[in-house]
Amino acid sequence: MLDVMDFSQRYKDKLLEFFKDLHMNPELSFKEFRTTSKIKDLLKSLDIEILDMGMETGVVGLLKGKYSGPTVALRGDIDALPIVEETDLDYKSKVDGVMHACGHDVHTTCLAGAAMILSELKDQLHGNIKFIFQIAEEKNEGAKMLVKAGVMDDVDVIFGLHNHPDVPVGKVGVKLGGLMAAVDTIWIDIYGKGGHGGIPQRTIDPIVATSGVIQGIQSIVSRNISPIDSVVVSIGTINGGTANNVISEHIHMSGTVRTFDKEIRKNMPEILSKKVEGIAAGYGATGKVTYRYDLPAVINEKDMYDLACETVEQTYGKDAIFDPVPTTGGEDFSIFTENKPGFFYWLGVGNKEKGYVNQWHNSRFVADTDSLLVGSNVLAQSAINYMLKNKSSQI
């Protein structure tokens, strides 16, 4: 059996150098030009074909194995966040107001490492590898654009990972079933009748109705949906009113709905609309819900879970496997797996002894760089193991 651990250690220093350069030069979604150029230079040096996806940023590379077999995709996102870095790292961001605060530089480096490893094994591969360096994950747009451009058309399976600061470095989260929630966007409008703040009885106050709606929708879990099922409805913005002595005509809110179960997700627009309209009507107001399906849930199926467990145990031993608690955060990796099988890992990057405990999107977020080779090996070995289990009988 092909085992990347036999030789991958030699790439450790190169990966660290690659990572530090990315971290010092972060780029926002749709502006990942330098990062794209750096990745292309690496893939060209590895003799990996660069595919034209008709996009200004991001890279998709294709490594063709010697033997026929499945096409395995490996994905890593490359964009950063509009955050001022406040770490004391000697490789902290050099770009004002931009930081790799979600660890996408880790993901990019792990995918680059997998490319280095697998290119060395090209003549032993039973199939092809697609390396998807994805843009604009933070905008939830990159995966959709790539799928629309056909990146998954000839792919049989896809693997990806996301760093996790709560998981100790050296551990890899392997979860069966729901790992990350579906995330959808909602807009709620409450319409009343405006008037003088001193004569509220002649108005229909949408602000009072809005307060009832916000509290009332929290009863969806337990009264409309079983408390055993995970659903989160959050309101993030409220806008309305023009003056302190005027009863407004209209209040506008926006928020998110997060679910794991496909049937519950499908029914949420109707459930939410009935709840909002009913509560608003109780105040004499009118309620309207606009619902947009954004990201499906990240679900790891049983056959892929078994392969993932075997892969981590093969590379780092059974003790390296960590069973994570699902999160209601979302990830657009799920766009790639809507119609194709796949698996998504948590990569441990936390280190309490070094003080690396801050969460994503925090100005002091730091990932332990010992995770870089771990992620590279896990991605590369996942591809190899899938190929070996599904290789063609034709040579």
pLDDT of residue 365: 99
Answer whether residue 391 shows pLDDT above 90: no
Q: What confidence category does residue 11 fall into, taking pLDDT thresholds of 50, 70 and 90? A: very high
pLDDT of residue 7: 86
pLDDT of residue 312: 98
| Contacts of 146 by beta carbon, 8 Å cutoff, 6+ apart | 53, 55, 58, 60, 132, 134, 152, 336
Answer whether residue 95 shows pLDDT above 60: yes
Answer whether residue 394 shows pLDDT above 90: no
For the domain made up of 4-179+297-390, the CATH class stated in words is: alpha beta
Whole-number Å distance between alpha carbons of 320 and 160 = 18
* Percent of the chain residues past pLDDT 70, beyond the cut: 99
pLDDT of residue 395: 46
pLDDT (mean) for 235-262: 98
Report residue 189 CA to chain centroid gap.
Answer: 29
Amino acid at 32: E
How many other C-beta atoms can be found within 10 angstroms of the C-beta atom of residue 274?
14
| Contacts of 154 by beta carbon, 8 Å cutoff, 6+ apart | 71
Annotated binding site: 102, 104, 138, 162, 361
Cα–Cα–Cα angle for 78, 79, 82, rounded to 5 degrees? 155
Higher pLDDT, 210 or 230: 210
Pairing label, strands 67-77, 157-168: parallel
pLDDT digits (tens, 9 = 90+) for 345-367: 999 999 999 999 999 999 999 99
Average pLDDT, the chain: 97
* CA-wise closest residue to 170 among 1, 372, 324, 352: 372
Answer whether residue 114 shows pLDDT above 60: yes
- Dihedral over alpha carbons 112, 114, 117, 118 (to 10 degrees): -110
Q: Report the run of H or E that residue 208 belongs to, with start and end.
A: helix 206-216
- What pTM does this model have? 0.94
Sorted by where each begins, the domain ranges of the chain are: 4-179+297-390, 182-295
pLDDT digits (tens, 9 = 90+) for 280-339: 999 999 999 999 999 999 999 999 999 999 999 999 999 999 999 999 999 999 999 999
Report residue 337 CA to chain centroid gap.
Answer: 12
Annotated binding site for Mn(2+): 102, 104, 138, 162, 361
3-class SS letters over 345-387: EEEEEEEHHHCECCCCCCCCCCCCCCHHHHHHHHHHHHHHHHH
Answer whether residue 152 shows pLDDT above 60: yes
- Does the structural domain 182-295 have CATH classification 3.30.70.360? yes
Structural contact between residues 342 and 158, judged by C-beta atoms closer than 8 angstroms: yes
pLDDT of residue 5: 87
Q: What confidence category does residue 2 fall into, taking pLDDT thresholds of 50, 70 and 90? A: confident
Answer whether residue 204 shows pLDDT above 50: yes
pLDDT (mean) for 125-133: 98
* CA-wise closest residue to 20 among 369, 378, 358: 369
pLDDT digits (tens, 9 = 90+) for 249-285: 999 999 999 999 999 999 999 999 999 999 999 999 9
